Amino acid sequence: MNGERTILKIFNRTTLTRLPALVASNSLLPGCFLAVLLIDIYIYRKGYNWPPIRSDGFGYYVYLPAIFIHHDIFFTFLNDQAFIEQVRGYYPFADWIWTGLTVQGDGFVDKYPIGTAIMQLPFFLAGWTAARLGSSGSLSGFEFPFQVASCISAAFYFFAALCILFRILTARIAPSTATLCLLFAVTTTNVLLYASYDGSSSHIYSFFLVSALCAVVASSNKSIGRAFTFGLLLGLAVMVRPTNIVAALLFAKLATYPGRPLLIELTARVTLLILGFVLAALPQVLIWLVTTGSPFYYSYRSEGFDFLHPHVLSYLFSVRKGVFFWHPAFLLMICALVPHYQKFRLEASLFLAMIALNLYLGSAWISWFLGGSFGARQTVDVLPVMVISTGSAFAVLETALPSFLALSRVVAIGLGLMNLGQMYGYMVNEIPSDGMTWDKYKSFWNQIPLVRAIEHSTRAAFPK
């Protein structure tokens, strides 16, 4: 009898109606992980780019071979002709060596912080093991297994971030709604590209860490030890990208706990936050102390912010790298803060402040276009808070009029197709990594058969 009751409980009407959503949620997340790896395989087998560890990614990654293989944090091994010849097959272009590095004495100082390398470490060690098994000679740290490890690392943190966001969302909305929300974010923004094609850069690691910070403050467990966890994650996030300091605003949700003395509680939590932050930042401080003689060092040198003259309009709307031009979904996701505010007032306010600061810092950077970039890549860093607020908007849409819901689906599908088309064009070098103009942009879309057919049909229907 007990067995029959259990079976009936499992297969009751409620469970059956939720089953498709649960299946969808379980397939979306590993599907995204697989999609990233398939994109990598396609791009690199077709020869559209190589190697995976390149450009800024070289500067973020080079700490690992320097410390574990060459035992040289001053990077003098980069001047060794034998090393240069050893990696020339992977880096045939002449300027690979200076990416992210500035000359200091006989070696170099890396302008990029060490946080990304710390997160890549487990995958680097796996790549190192595979490389040693396949080679009896000396290793440079840039052989094929290391390149593969970098790709898997980015895919893993992307997958892990989506799992965290899915858990946050399903605590508030239905699994099916959470699935659609994540699918919308993945297909309409540039996060997928920075998990795959440009996975060696720092943005997908920021995406994971900010997701984790959101999970800490969204949890019902408000124990004082969470402040230390928050500080540890925040410190690592800042070591990945210094502009991630904007995520410190989230601490306002964790600063106090009802029923306890305010001053004592706040002091204890801030102290733990600082301890966690310092512990996470310690590796970078030690490296700077050894390599520059100072525990604090501005490694970007001539680069910086012009806070009084930000390029706000260009950063947000220009064809070159405009946040909302290339990814209009970001604007919709920011608008989602309105329904989110109805249930989560403090959280929505903090999210808005984070997003605004992120956009301001991006527009105030001396190179606001951020060099090679698919849209404005820094926006990926605060995408987790946009995803969470968008979940509230999707929940509202479930109760909307059928006609409005249908229109919303058309818009979402259209934005997704447009973004994925542009992403493909970027990866196969049909969209330039920088210097985009209106003429180039129109030329890209005009070469697509469907667009040409629509254009010709329009001209035939409405002749001048």
Query: What pTM was estimated for this model as a whole?
Result: 0.91
Inside any domain, residue 452: yes
State the residue for tokens 């999210």.
Answer: 351
286 domain-assigned: no
| Residue 404 to residues 329, 335, 341, 399, 407, Cα–Cα distance (Å) | 17, 16, 21, 10, 5
Q: Is 264 exposed, middle or buried (0-12, 13-18, 19+ CB in 10 A)?
A: exposed
Q: What 3-state class would DSSP assign to 100?
A: coil
286 Cβ contact partners less than 8 Å away, ≥ 6 residues apart:
295
> Is the Cα torsion angle 426, 430, 433, 434 positive or negative in sign?
negative
pLDDT for the residue numbered 134: 86
Q: What is the DSSP letter of 305?
A: B
Could you tell me the end-to-end alpha-carbon distance of the chain, in angstroms, rounded to an integer? 79
Does residue 132 belong to any structural domain of this protein? no
Which residues form the domain of 452? 435-464
Residue 40 in domain? no
Q: What is the pLDDT of residue 12?
A: 46
Q: Could you report the average pLDDT of every consecutive run of 10 residues in the chain (464 residues)? A: 42 45 67 96 94 93 97 93 85 64 87 97 98 90 96 98 96 94 98 98 98 95 90 98 98 76 83 97 96 92 94 97 98 98 96 98 95 95 98 94 92 96 95 94 83 58 62
In a domain, 403, yes or no: no
pLDDT at residue 27, rounded to an integer? 84
How much is the pLDDT for 107?
87
pLDDT of residue 406: 93
Question: How many residues make up the chain in this entry?
Answer: 464
The answer to whether residue 376 is domain-embedded is no
What is the total count of domains within the chain? 1
Task: Please tell me the predicted confidence (pLDDT) of residue 221.
Answer: 82
Q: Is residue 262 part of a domain?
A: no
User: Does 176 map to a domain?
Assistant: no
**What is residue 255's predicted lDDT score, i.e. its pLDDT?**
79
